[in-house]
């Protein structure tokens, strides 16, 4: 069996294929990977491929995720599924791309002889607006403004996978957003590994606030601009004020804090202290009334004691975040934390995760209940029961894929992409229910 060809990304994207060959992409991992998958499809289309659903394509690109154990397992399982399809003659070519391929290219080539091509992650195009085949519904889009990050959090392998921090030029981002605006997109989600470092490489300053002002000024149809992946230590007063002032910018900030204890924030090289974190959250809440904070925490970091965990639980209960995601620490080779003392047993990690998410469930339910009786703008994503005019949507405070849903009951037929006023009639841990006016 021939060993898979580990191709440089450029070689792979120079290949010409006979027109009509169908290619599909399976996207794993985060929204940043989804944008990469859209760019991969756009590029392959230029090479003669015809984008198609992966289930009926003869070439499938699996854009893998490789930053923690669980994600690696999912990527491997997907590759194995594709190999089975190929053995049954249902697939001609398997291409493995993305973070797992970048991190373990050689190992994958050794392990999976049935894979045809392995390519790494793509460099971010600073100036251009690469052609993309959208993989999101027509009314919302992700716009990746930068790649990788300056930070070196001790538990994280991403900078080692993604390389040097790279920002796109403001002109390039605004051009892309204008194209989306012209296509009638209503919601743009601004993403990167650390969007708050945007511009530090090319403009020698944190330029996210400036970029946002240019985006809001340049758009007509786009109603919602959402920020995902802000790095706490890089959030500036200028950014907070711009979010507060610009009507289009959702009063929703995704700011992964990971923990609150000083010894762990220091050990994890987060560049911020307990005091500074608490002050930052207070400042955001004071300057942006009604702001919804999404954050993530990691439990079971090396050195985390019962006392540390107790401190984290106290912080979660006091701060009452509107949206929380939590993960158990994944010990990743190649990271500084891998060799740290005080590794926490998996059983304890799991217990702490359950405890934290149970507490957050109660907090989230009580915060959601405060919305009953209010009228909120809801962006409709899809019909749930078309014949009964029931739709699934989101408020400005719900990011796609990761946050709650609003069940919208209407007396008339509505269209995905519509933004409608909805009176909230019921609330659940993460979701809401309401009726159109």
- Quickly tell me which residue has 């790494």 as its tokens: 120
Q: Are 255 and 295 in contact (CB under 8 A)?
A: yes
Q: Are 246 and 212 in contact (CB under 8 A)?
A: yes
**Closest distance of CB 146 from ligand SF4, Å:** 11
What element of type H or E holds 286? helix 274-287
Render the burial of 367-406: b for 16+ CB within 10 Å, e for the rest.
Answer: bbeebeeeebebbbbebeeeeebebbbbbbbbbbeebbbb
**Closest distance of CB 269 from ligand SF4, Å:** 8
- Binding of ligand SF4 by 159 (CB under 6 A): yes
Residue 231 or 329 with smaller CB distance to ligand SF4: 231
- Binding of ligand SF4 by 165 (CB under 6 A): no
- Binding of ligand SF4 by 407 (CB under 6 A): no
Q: What share of the chain is helix, strand, coil (3-state, %, to 5)?
A: 35, 20, 40
Q: Which of these ranges, 114-122, 146-154, 395-403, 406-414, lies near ligand SF4 under the rule CB under 6 A?
A: 146-154
CB atoms within 10 A of CB 358: 9
Q: Which of 34, 79, 100, 158 binds ligand SF4 (CB under 6 A)?
A: 158
Q: What value, to the nearest 5°, has the Cα angle with vertex 91 and ends 86 and 94?
A: 80
Residue 82 or 157 with smaller CB distance to ligand SF4: 157
Q: Which of these ranges, 90-98, 120-128, 156-164, 347-355, lies near ligand SF4 under the rule CB under 6 A?
A: 156-164
Tokens coding 91: 């697939």
**Closest distance of CB 325 from ligand SF4, Å:** 13
Q: Which of 64, 166, 172, 193 binds ligand SF4 (CB under 6 A)?
A: 193
**Closest distance of CB 132 from ligand SF4, Å:** 23
- Binding of ligand SF4 by 149 (CB under 6 A): yes
Q: Are 127 and 305 in contact (CB under 8 A)?
A: no
Residue 163 or 416 with smaller CB distance to ligand SF4: 163
Question: Distance from first CA to last CA of the chain, Å, rounded?
Answer: 64
CA–CA dist 63, 432 (Å, integer):
33
- Binding of ligand SF4 by 267 (CB under 6 A): no
> For ligand SF4, what does the binding mask look like between residues 209 and 248, x meaning CB under 6 A?
----------------------x-----------------
- Binding of ligand SF4 by 299 (CB under 6 A): no
Question: Can you give the binding site for ligand SF4, defined by CB under 6 A?
Answer: 149, 151-153, 156, 158-159, 193-194, 231
């Amino acid at each position: 069996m021939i060993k898979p060809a580990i191709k440089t990304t450029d070689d792979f994207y120079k290949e010409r294929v006979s027109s009509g060959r169908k290619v599909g992409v399976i996207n794993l991992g985060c929204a940043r990977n989804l944008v990469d998958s859209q760019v991969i499809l756009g590029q392959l289309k230029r090479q003669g491929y015809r984008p198609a659903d992966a289930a009926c394509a003869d070439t499938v690109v699996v854009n893998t995720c490789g930053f923690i154990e669980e994600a690696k397992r999912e990527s491997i399982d997907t590759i194995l599924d594709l190999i089975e399809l190929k053995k049954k003659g249902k697939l001609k070519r398997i291409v493995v791309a993305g973070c797992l391929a970048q991190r373990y290219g050689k190992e994958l080539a050794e392990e999976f002889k049935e894979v045809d091509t392995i390519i790494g992650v793509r460099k971010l195009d600073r100036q251009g607006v690469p052609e993309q085949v959208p993989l999101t519904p027509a009314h919302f889009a992700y716009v990746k403004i930068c790649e990788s990050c300056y930070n070196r959090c001790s538990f994280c392998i991403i900078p080692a996978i993604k390389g040097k921090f790279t920002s796109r030029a403001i002109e390039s981002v605004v051009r892309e957003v204008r194209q989306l605006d012209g296509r009638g997109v209503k919601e743009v989600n601004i993403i990167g590994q650390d969007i708050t470092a945007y511009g530090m490489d090319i403009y020698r300053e944190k330029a996210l606030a400036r970029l946002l002002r240019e985006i809001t000024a340049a758009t007509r149809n786009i109603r919602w601009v959402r920020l995902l992946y802000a790095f706490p230590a890089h959030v500036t007063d200028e950014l907070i004020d711009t979010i507060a002032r610009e009507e289009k910018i959702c009063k929703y900030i995704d700011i992964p804090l990971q923990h609150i204890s000083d010894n762990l924030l220091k050990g994890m090289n987060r560049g911020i202290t307990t005091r500074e974190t608490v002050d930052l959250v207070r400042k955001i809440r004071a300057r942006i009334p009604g702001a919804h904070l999404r954050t993530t925490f990691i439990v079971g970091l090396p050195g985390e004691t019962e006392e540390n965990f107790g401190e984290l639980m106290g912080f979660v209960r006091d701060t009452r975040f509107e949206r929380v995601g939590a993960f158990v620490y994944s010990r990743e080779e190649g990271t500084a934390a891998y060799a740290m003392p005080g590794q926490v047993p998996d059983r304890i990690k799991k217990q702490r995760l359950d405890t934290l998410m149970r507490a957050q469930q109660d907090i989230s339910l009580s915060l959601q209940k405060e919305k009953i009786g209010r009228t909120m703008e809801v962006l409709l994503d899809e019909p749930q029961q078309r014949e009964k005019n029931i739709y699934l949507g989101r408020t400005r405070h719900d990011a796609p894929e990761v946050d709650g849903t609003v069940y919208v009951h209407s007396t008339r037929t509505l269209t995905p992409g519509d933004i409608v006023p909805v009176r909230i009639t019921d609330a659940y841990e993460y979701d809401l229910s309401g009726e159109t006016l």
